[in-house]
Amino acid sequence: MDTDWSLIPGWLAMVGAITTLASPFLALGGVLIGARLTRKADEELDVWRHREETMRMVRWAVEQITTGEESQTDAGVVTLRSLMRSELLQAEDYDLVAALTAAVTIDRIGQAKYADLADLETEVVEQAGEGVSADG
């Protein structure tokens, strides 16, 4: 029995041919888009993990600073400074560090002595030893 291929319309044959030729490229495009989306998700996850670790270090540094111990304060300050200079922190993190360090600094010297600094005639001296005092 002979098959009459002429029963397939010409346009349908054309669609079939185009589909056959285009399908590998469509598959390749799908793979590329999938790979790109996966890589973007990985990058976002990496940024998130990185930020999480950075904030953990910031929290540790602040805890060290707020203990009030000289060596631990130094460790905290060095850690925060290193984080800032390594450009690991983002713009909003600098705000946080600035606010924290201002609060701790004022707490260290005391509100009364800090208020004295409003007077521009007041001289600020870094004392050699540990502790805070004011005179005058």
By beta-carbon proximity to another protein, the closer residue of 21 and 91 is 91
Q: Is 58 in the site for another protein (CB under 8 A)?
A: no
Q: How far is the CB of 111 from another protein (least distance, A)?
A: 10
Neighbours of 84 (CB within 10 A): 15
Cα 113 to Cα 117: distance, rounded to the nearest angstrom: 7
The contacts of residue 51 (CB under 8 Å, 6+ apart) are 90
State which amino acid sits at residue 99: A
By CB under 8 A, is residue 66 in contact with another protein?
no
Interface ranges with another protein (CB under 8 A):
65, 70, 73-74, 77, 80-81, 84, 89, 91-92, 94-95, 97-98, 101-102, 104-106, 108-109, 113-114, 116-119, 121-128, 130-136
